């Protein structure tokens, strides 16, 4: 279907419907011109919302313009104090009030400016002299023009310690608005040589400290955190990214294509190609011997590798989200490679045997798209410097004869399938931090358990059984000494009861049990885990789900799915699950009501129910939905999905309702 046909289809579909279309961060007319014919004006209340930092594209549309107002002085002061005086609960000391108010005034009511300068001052000594220097910097000509944001960005950047400056500039290699994964970034920092050893810490742990420091300085925005409260993903504000990109280009640190303004210098050491590039032709213009890092992201339809000739000093090569037609042997001659990634790319063919020539390779990420089929030679992984190895299901058939006993530095092993390597090699990989194996035979699982006593540094373990997981039985009693640092555990297969040592897992924060057949006795034992934050149960066989007082003291997220035997969840004893924020109940057909006491959990923010019975949603069986919210910190968000029939739902006053109407067959009424 071409663009013209698509426009007609979309216009016809929207003709009788009310719609809201949001075009975000528009800088020119083209995006609007390309969609306007597909948006019919039927005078039914439909709206188009366009956001922009440039008024030119929207002035010609003849629409009402709404300008975001700057923060008034009192709100600016409150926001600044929250960031600058964290240790004093947001209270400004008397001797800094006048200087602080002058600094807030210089921020012109811009929230981003207030947050960044507040975070900058939080790290300064609480003396009038130190703070006056910052105020003087805001009055000087540190940025281009007189824009307060530019000056504040300059102040914050030049205040970074030397070891953090390249780490911050490195962020602009990623596409705009991309959620950057903590693990990927840390691996790249390590491979670039940015991280300095800190005593007995691993380089990865030291890099996490670097990342936390950038967060504390408000240079990056956290998007999600893990069950162990570590950063999981983050973003860089677009204005900060533009600033860092300008500095990176000026210092020949990094160049991005397509680029705004002047093309990066031909001696730039790092090149990143983003969405919109048809091919890698620009690469051939650069002095390949000077390039240390290459990034290819998104929609690059033709990758010739011609520009790699002579690029003998490349340390980082990222080939993510692209279609790869072939992998030349020349690629495997880049002997200085530390990091090689094909994440979410598609490729069909063989991985060259010469992969084993990359003797300095530390990170290999081959988590390709699910339809990719390729072969990995067993000897290709004789890479003694390898620290992190990510594989995908496409490698299953070619990994039976892997030899990994020499990978003594390996910290991450994900996506590998079962095989005799487990018995022969796993016990020697004593530095493992993350282990994910699938699919596995019964003997494979037993061999893993026999090796766990040697893996005492292991925080994350995932074992997924092959085929009919109901027939796979976990004999956890065979584990003589479980990893003391275990934080995340995911198992598929029959468990029935927990081993006697399970209560010793004092650091366990996330537990996922698939096809476990866990009974009520096992559920009781789970409630005593002191740090458990995320619990996902699939195929629990208990008829009830008793929750004792004081049980699950730290649980934040609870998922119940495919619990076909669960008939009643009568109540939550007072003090049970006090920190619960999210509850998902999915396909539990015999469960007829929510538990009494759920309405008293003040932390609860989200309730999601999928595929439940009509009785479950009858008004008489949902006491939690009829309780006011005065004691709550925030309203509950309720989501109802895939209901075969519904008669009535009573909502909490002030709650946010999200209804998916796809399978509704009976009327739905909401009383708020």
Task: For residue 273, give the CATH number of its domain.
Answer: 3.80.10.10
Q: What is the pLDDT of residue 463?
A: 87
**Residue 511 resides in a domain:** no
Same structural domain, 490 and 525: no
Total domains, the chain:
6
Q: What is the pLDDT of residue 207?
A: 96
Same structural domain, 382 and 297: yes
Among the ranges given (250-254, 413-417, 488-492, 635-639), the one the predictor scored with the smallest mean pLDDT: 635-639
Strands annotated E in 420-546: 434-440, 460-465, 488-492, 510-514, 534-538
Peptide bond into 258 cis (omega under 30): yes
DSSP letter assigned to residue 568: B
- Cα–Cα distances in Å, from 541 out to 165, 532, 538, 620? 54, 21, 9, 26
Question: Where among 497, 530, 562 does a domain terminate?
Answer: 497
Same structural domain, 531 and 664: yes
Burial (Cβ within 10 Å: 0-12, 13-18, ≥19) of residue 290: middle
DSSP lists the bridge partners of residue 465 as 440
**Residue 418 resides in a domain:** yes
* Confidence at 328, pLDDT banded by 50, 70, 90: confident
**Residue 503 resides in a domain:** no
The two three-digit tokens of residue 490, written as one number:
């995911």
Give SS3 for 453. Answer: helix
| 615-654 pLDDT, tens digit each | 787 644 555 554 444 455 556 666 655 444 443 444 444 4
How many Å separate Cα 410 from the centre of its chain?
23
The whole-angstrom separation of Cα 327 and Cα 320 is 14
Question: Long-range CB contacts (< 8 A, 24+ apart) of 643-647?
Answer: 643/611, 643/612, 643/617, 644/611, 644/614, 645/614, 646/614, 646/617, 647/614, 647/617, 647/618, 647/619
Among the ranges given (107-116, 363-372, 596-605), the one the predictor scored with the smallest mean pLDDT: 363-372
In the chain, pLDDT over 70 holds for what percent of residues?
Answer: 79
How many Å separate Cα 465 from the centre of its chain?
26
Same structural domain, 307 and 388: yes
The two three-digit tokens of residue 73, written as one number:
């002085």
Same structural domain, 623 and 564: yes
Same structural domain, 373 and 237: no
Same structural domain, 536 and 615: yes
> Averaged over 411-428, what is the pLDDT?
88
Same structural domain, 188 and 309: no
The whole-angstrom separation of Cα 488 and Cα 433 is 11
> Averaged over 579-598, what is the pLDDT?
89
| Helix spans in 36-181 (H) | 56-59, 73-84, 97-106, 111-122, 128-139, 148-159, 165-169
| 280-298 pLDDT, tens digit each | 566 666 666 788 898 988 6
Peptide bond into 649 cis (omega under 30): no
- Alpha carbon dihedral 374, 379, 384, 386, in 10-degree steps, equals 10
Same structural domain, 214 and 264: no
**Residue 506 resides in a domain:** no
**Residue 586 resides in a domain:** yes
Q: Above 60 in pLDDT, residue 15?
A: yes
- Cα–Cα distances in Å, from 499 out to 463, 509, 619? 16, 18, 41
Mean per-residue pLDDT of the chain: 81
**Residue 67 resides in a domain:** no
| 464-500 pLDDT, tens digit each | 877 654 455 666 766 767 888 999 999 888 876 788 8
Same structural domain, 532 and 651: yes
For residue 45, what are the domain limits? 3-59
Q: Above 80 in pLDDT, residue 582?
A: yes
Same structural domain, 593 and 631: yes
**Residue 247 resides in a domain:** no
DSSP lists the bridge partners of residue 323 as 346
Question: Where among 372, 395, 418 does a domain terminate?
Answer: 395
> Averaged over 59-83, what is the pLDDT?
86
Q: What is the pLDDT of residue 489?
A: 94
In DSSP notation, 538-561 reads ES---SB--B-TT-STT--EEEEE
Question: Where among 242, 270, 295 does a domain terminate?
Answer: 242
- 107: CB partners within 8 A, 6+ apart: 76, 80, 113, 114, 117, 148, 152
Same structural domain, 178 and 148: no
> Averaged over 222-230, what is the pLDDT?
89
| Helix spans in 193-237 (H) | 203-216
**Residue 512 resides in a domain:** no
């Amino acid at each position: 279907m071409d663009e013209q046909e698509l426009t007609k289809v979309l216009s016809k579909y929207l003709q009788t419907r009310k719609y809201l279309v949001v075009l975000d961060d528009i800088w020119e007319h083209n995006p609007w011109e390309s969609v306007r014919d597909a948006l019919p004006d039927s005078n039914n209340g439909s709206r188009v919302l366009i956001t922009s930092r440039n008024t030119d594209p929207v002035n010609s549309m003849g629409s009402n313009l709404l300008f975001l107002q700057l923060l008034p002085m009192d709100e600016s002061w409150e926001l600044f104090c929250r960031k600058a005086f964290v240790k004093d609960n947001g209270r400004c000391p008397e001797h800094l009030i006048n200087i602080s108010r002058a600094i807030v005034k210089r921020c012109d009511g811009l929230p981003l400016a207030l947050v960044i300068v507040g975070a900058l001052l939080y790290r300064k000594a609480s003396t009038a002299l130190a703070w006056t220097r910052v105020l003087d910097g805001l009055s000087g000509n540190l940025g281009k023009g007189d824009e307060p944001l530019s000056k504040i960005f300059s102040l914050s950047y030049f205040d970074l310690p030397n070891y953090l400056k390249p780490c911050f500039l490195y962020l602009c290699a990623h596409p705009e608005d991309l959620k950057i994964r903590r693990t990927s970034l840390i691996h790249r920092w390590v491979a670039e040589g940015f991280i300095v050893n800190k005593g007995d810490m691993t380089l990865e742990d030291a890099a996490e400290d670097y990342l936390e420091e950038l967060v504390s300085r408000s240079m990056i925005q956290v998007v999600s955190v893990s069950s162990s409260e570590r950063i999981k993903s983050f973003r860089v504000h677009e204005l900060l990214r533009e600033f860092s990109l300008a500095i990176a280009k000026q210092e020949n640190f990094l160049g991005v294509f397509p680029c705004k303004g002047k093309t990066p210098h031909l001696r730039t050491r790092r090149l990143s190609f983003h969405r919109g590039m048809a091919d890698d032709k620009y690469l051939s213009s650069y002095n390949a011997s000077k390039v240390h890092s290459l990034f290819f992201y998104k929609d690059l339809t033709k990758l010739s590798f011609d520009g790699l000739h002579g690029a003998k000093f490349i340390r980082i090569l990222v080939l993510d989200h692209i279609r790869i037609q072939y992998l030349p042997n020349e690629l495997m001659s880049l002997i200085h490679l530390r990091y090689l990634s094909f994440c979410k790319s598609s490729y069909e063919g063989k991985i060259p045997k010469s992969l084993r020539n990359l003797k300095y390779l530390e990170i290999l990420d081959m988590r390709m798209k699910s339809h990719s089929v390729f072969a990995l030679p067993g000897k290709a992984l004789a890479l003694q410097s390898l620290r992190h190895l990510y594989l995908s299901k496409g490698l299953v058939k070619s990994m039976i004869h892997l030899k990994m006993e020499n990978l003594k530095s390996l910290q991450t092993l994900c996506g590998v399938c079962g095989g005799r390597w487990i018995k022969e090699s796993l016990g020697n990989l004593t530095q493992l931090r993350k282990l994910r194996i699938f699919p596995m035979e019964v003997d494979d699982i037993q061999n893993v358990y026999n090796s766990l006593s040697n893996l005492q540094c292991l925080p994350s373990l995932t074992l997924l059984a092959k085929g009919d997981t109901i027939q796979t039985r976990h004999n956890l009693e065979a584990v003589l000494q479980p990893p003391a640092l275990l934080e995340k555990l995911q198992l598929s297969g029959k468990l029935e009861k927990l081993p006697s040592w399970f209560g010793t897992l004092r650091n366990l924060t996330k537990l996922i049990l698939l096809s476990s057949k866990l009974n009520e006795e096992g559920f009781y034992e789970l409630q005593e885990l002191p740090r458990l934050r995320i619990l996902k149960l699939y195929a629990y066989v208990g008829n009830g789900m008793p929750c004792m007082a004081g049980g699950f003291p730290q649980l934040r997220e609870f998922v119940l799915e495919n619990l076909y035997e669960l008939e009643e969840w009568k109540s939550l004893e007072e003090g049970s699950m006090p920190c619960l924020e999210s509850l998902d109940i999915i396909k539990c057909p015999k469960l007829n009501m929510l538990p009494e006491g759920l309405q008293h959990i003040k932390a609860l923010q989200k309730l999601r129910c999928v595929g439940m019975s009509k009785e479950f949603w009858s008004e008489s069986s949902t006491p939690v939905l009829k309780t006011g919210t005065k004691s709550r910190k925030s309203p509950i968000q309720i989501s109802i999905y895939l209901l075969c029939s519904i008669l009535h739902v009573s909502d909490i006053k002030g709650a946010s309702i999200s209804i998916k109407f796809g399978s509704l067959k009976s009327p739905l009424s909401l009383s708020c």
